[in-house]
Amino acid sequence: GENVEQHPSTLSVQEGDSAVIKCTYSDSASNYFPWYKQELGKRPQLIIDIRSNVGEKKDQRIAVTLNKTAKHFSLHITETQPEDSAVYFCAANPRGSTLGRLYFGRGTQLTVWP
């Protein structure tokens, strides 16, 4: 099955700086890559996703890039704010997985210091 690696496991930045989280995947057939944010004690919430026919997608301060050749994708958060502090999970969904099965990375604890 798919194997998703995520780095770093922890990331501390100053408010206003940028944060980058990187993930690699093993199954070249994977075609959907969501990012979830999970605040302490809350549910994972989708913040952005990208499909394999797109190289980059942006939503305000958040962007995701995908390199299919290298099989890696990254989350970029600009102008970070303390409320961005959370655990971020990347995931991959193999093509043909009609059930929307997701393979998650191990998570990155992002801390934004005021």
Partner 1 sequence: DTEVTQTPKHLVMGMTNKKSLKCEQHMGHRAMYWYKQKAKKPPELMFVYSYEKLSINESVPSRFSPECPNSSLLNLHLHALQPEDSALYLCASSQERARRLAGGSYNEQFFGPGTRLTVL
Q: What are phi and psi of 102, to 5 degrees?
A: -110, 140
- Candidate segments 21-29, 64-72, 77-85, 88-96, binder of partner 1 by CB under 8 A: 88-96
Compute the least distance from the CB of residue 27 to partner 1, in Å.
14
**H helix runs in the chain, sequence order:** none
- Candidates 67, 71, 91; CA nearest to 28 is 71
Kindly tell me the number of DSSP H helices and DSSP E strands found in the chain.
Answer: 0, 11
Give how many residues touch partner 1 by CB under 8 A: 25
Judged by CB, which is closer to partner 1: 85, or 93? 93
Site for partner 1 in 15-74 (CB under 8 A): 32, 34, 36, 42-46, 49, 51
Q: What are phi and psi of 67, to 5 degrees?
A: -120, 100
The 8-class DSSP code of residue 84 comes to: G
Residues near partner 1 (CB under 8 A) are: 32, 34, 36, 42-46, 49, 51, 87, 89, 93, 95, 97-102, 104-107, 109
